[in-house]
Amino acid sequence: SFAYFTIKDRLPQILTRVIDTLHRHKNEFFEEHGEKGIEAEKNTISILSKLRNELQTDKPLVPLDDKLPDVPLWNQYLEYQQNLLDGNEQPSWFQSPWLYVECYMYRRIHEALVHNPPIDDYDVFKEAKIESFFESQQAIIALCTYLQEHLKNIEDLDEKQLQEELFKLLQVSLWGNKCDLSISAGEDNSQKASPLKSLDNLKTLILVDDMESIWSLLINSKKRRTSIEVTRVDIVLDNAGYELITDLILADFLLSSKLVTEIHFHGKCIPWYVSDTTKQDFNWTIKQLQSANNRWMSRCGMNWEGSIKKGVLVYHDHIFWTLPHEFCSMAQVATDLYTELQKSHLIIFKGDLNYRKLTGDRKWEFTVPFHQALNKFHPAPLCSLRTLKSDVQVGLKPGQGEQFVTSEPDWMICGKYGVVQFDASL
């Protein structure tokens, strides 16, 4: 299965890259922290090599032992996995749920660093994320230009035109999800083609298209809203680099069209799945745009900075997003986050990992309704914008999935197909 391939090949490759990155930055650690920096780099590499060996030889998963606040939750989860097994068996790398083991690896990488001050806050994926941002420069310019030039008269658009623009930018954000660095084991996977021109050709690759429902929800709430009311959309972010830009562009459009009055972003507290967005990445991206040579880029950066200051663009993070838990357990495990999300009118979940956590990463029949797979996770109306990069998919029409099984065996893992999947029932 894809799970087996991921644990056997992709994760060790990612670990090897992390080790290599630390090694290449040795001089930087020395310049910043002297001998202590070098010592920490050596220790971290040795812990990570041991980790790679544990993984490759299917050793039991061990409890975490750093001092971060999520440790008790991780260790309880290990116990829970242990209790699912027969008396003598122990959860191990190849004998545990894929979602759990993969999340566990990223948390163990973080633990290795946490144990090694002064390099404990070093983001081992930062370099790859920055590189992927620059690799997508042309596509980023195209999007910023479109937003600034084409949508400058947004107030004059009629309803039909507004709907068309929303659909366009939802699709841009959907396809932005192709660019993650975990599927490519850290190799360049940036957006090279012009994002807006390719939309028509990609339309048939959207297997579930609920954009109409998203539109109705937003336009109705705009019409009903009084001047003192708020319409809030939450975007649970995925990858930094190009995908984050597509999310910011969508957010800007939603605000400037007055379809919504507040956007709340949710990012990761620690480096995660190579390219996922942390607060540092978010701030870096806005700064980068502000200081860009291209005037449309810099204008976007300035506007977004302004929206943050005004409090209409808000960035949050929460440890729940970097736990192995499925989202249906959020209400118990992270009640505060669940309550926060209940304030939203629409939650947009970006990307493949969020989809796996929404659906519990089960081997569902393709035709099982999305609502059922969510397993009572309904803080607010929600939708998933996700390109398929793992073998879980629900909500298809009868026969729709089966048709690919023989013609395109890798249809669920190659990132070619996408879904815009919505569920409103509470």
Burial 252-287 (b: 16+ CB within 10 A, else e): bbbbbbebbbbbbbbbbbbbbbbbbbbeebbebbbe
177 lies in the binding site for ligand F6P (CB under 6 A):
yes
Binder to ligand F6P among 29, 104, 273, 327 (CB under 6 A)? Answer: 273
Q: Which two tokens stand for residue 89?
A: 């068996």
DSSP 57-74: TTPBP----S--TTHHHH
Binder to Mg ion among 44, 184, 239, 278 (CB under 5 A)? Answer: 239
Beta bridge partners of 349: 236, 384
Looking at the Cβ atoms of 15 and 78, the one nearer to Mg ion is 15
Other Cβ atoms less than 10 A from the Cβ of 318: the count is 17
Residues 351-370 that bind ligand F6P (CB under 6 A): 351-353, 356
Minimum distance of ligand F6P from residue 354's CB (angstroms): 6
Looking at the Cβ atoms of 116 and 275, the one nearer to ligand F6P is 275
191 lies in the binding site for ligand F6P (CB under 6 A):
no
361 lies in the binding site for Mg ion (CB under 5 A):
no
Secondary element (H or E) of residue 315: strand 313-317
Listed residue (259, 422, 252) closest to 348, CA to CA:
422
Residues 268-297 that bind Mg ion (CB under 5 A): 273, 276
262 lies in the binding site for Mg ion (CB under 5 A):
no
Binder to ligand F6P among 70, 165, 234, 238 (CB under 6 A)? Answer: 238
Q: How far apart are CA 130 and CA 85, in angstroms?
A: 42
Task: Enumerate residues 6+ apart whose C-beta is below 8 A from 68.
Answer: 110, 114
Residues 322-351 that bind ligand F6P (CB under 6 A): 351
**236: helix, strand or coil:** strand
Listed residue (69, 91, 15, 74) closest to 46, CA to CA:
15
Name residue 254's amino acid: L
Task: Enumerate residues 6+ apart whose C-beta is below 8 A from 329.
Answer: none
Binding mask 5-34 for ligand F6P (x = CB under 6 A): -x----------------------------
389 lies in the binding site for ligand F6P (CB under 6 A):
yes
Minimum distance of ligand F6P from residue 33's CB (angstroms): 32
Binding mask 72-111 for ligand F6P (x = CB under 6 A): ------------------------------x---------
Residues 174-233 that bind Mg ion (CB under 5 A): 180
417 lies in the binding site for ligand F6P (CB under 6 A):
no
Q: How far apart are CA 215 and CA 213, in angstroms?
A: 5
Which residues sit at the interface with Mg ion, rule CB under 5 A? 180, 238-239, 273, 276
Residues contributing to the site for ligand F6P (CB under 6 A): 6, 102, 177, 180, 182-183, 238-239, 273, 351-353, 356, 389-390
